[in-house]
A = this chain, B = another copy of it.
């Protein structure tokens, strides 16, 4: 029988493995760790890297427990007020504009022996969209999904398109990936769903390594850098205005620095910036829409 602590232990190990791999990729900095305790119960390990190639990145683990407020109980639609939640969250902002921003989250939630679910996903936000990279990334995710259910990739790919959408800009945050939530007993046994979650978690390093290694030493101009800063502005807009995880954290008095580690270091906003027609920047914008079949694009 799979216990919540088994899941938390595995996630903690995942955090360790991912941090070790990322330190290897960047090669110039180590993660700085802040271990923290939550007043209501539990705590976490926030790890931050600020290297030459990963300009600002966070790999967070947390396992918290306590009592849900009546409002939260209602929002989550659960009967029990006691809860346990554990997860690993990652956001990496690279220095090189040709390397995309990447985000991953894998999490487990329970409010009683019979009420539990898994959630998570991986998605990338390129400053410049390269069709070949997007194809490779989605192929990898599809392979992970296909091992568990033939419908997972299509379903969770669409979910990512819908979730990572900057409504006020009418733009997707990037080229998506997969996103899923509330995978519960109606979807499979806890063991099977955990096996899926593990495979998603383990896909992070190969997925990012492919994108990072290909581009991190690529030459770029001031104009590329500026476009990167502007695209980061969109990332900030999504995370502060629309992201439910951020909202949940801010509303429930979570550890602010761990929640907002997702924000980039340097960001820029211009009034009404529009890239030149047919420029690589305009091409990228053209790809920030829902429903692209990246496998055959």
Contacts and interface: CB of A to CB of B under 8 A. Distances in A.
Interface in A225-245: 233, 236-237, 240-241
A257 B274 CA distance: 11
Interface stretch (A22-30, A262-270, A277-285): A262-270
A265 B265 CA distance: 14
A20 B168 CA distance: 32
Contacts of A6: none
Interface string A134-171: 00000000000000000000000000000000011100
A47 to B, nearest CB: 10
B236 A271 contact: no
A236 B241 CA distance: 11
A223 to B, nearest CB: 16
Nearest to A49: B271
Contact of A268 (B233, B256, B267): B267
26 contacts: A34-B272, A48-B272, A50-B271, A56-B269, A56-B271, A58-B271, A167-B250, A168-B250, A168-B253, A168-B256, A169-B256, A236-B240, A237-B240, A237-B260, A240-B240, A240-B241, A241-B241, A241-B250, A257-B272, A260-B269, A263-B269, A265-B269, A265-B270, A266-B267, A267-B268, A267-B269
Interface string A74-100: 000000000000000000000000000
Nearest to A47: B271
A241 B58 CA distance: 21
A269 B58 CA distance: 13
A167 B250 CA distance: 8
Copies of this chain present: 2
Contacts of A271: 48, 50, 56, 58, 257, 261
Interface of A: 34, 48, 50, 56, 58, 167-169, 233, 236-237, 240-241, 250, 253, 256-257, 260-261, 263-272
Question: Which 10 pairs of residues, A with B, have the shortest CB-CB distance?
Answer: A240-B240, A263-B269, A257-B272, A168-B250, A267-B267, A48-B271, A240-B241, A168-B256, A261-B271, A266-B268
A250 B238 CA distance: 12
Contacts of A48: 271-272
Contacts of A241: 240-241, 250
Given A34-B272, A167-B250, A263-B269, 15 more contacts: A58-B271, A168-B250, A168-B253, A168-B256, A233-B263, A236-B240, A237-B240, A240-B240, A240-B241, A257-B271, A257-B272, A261-B271, A265-B270, A267-B268, A267-B269
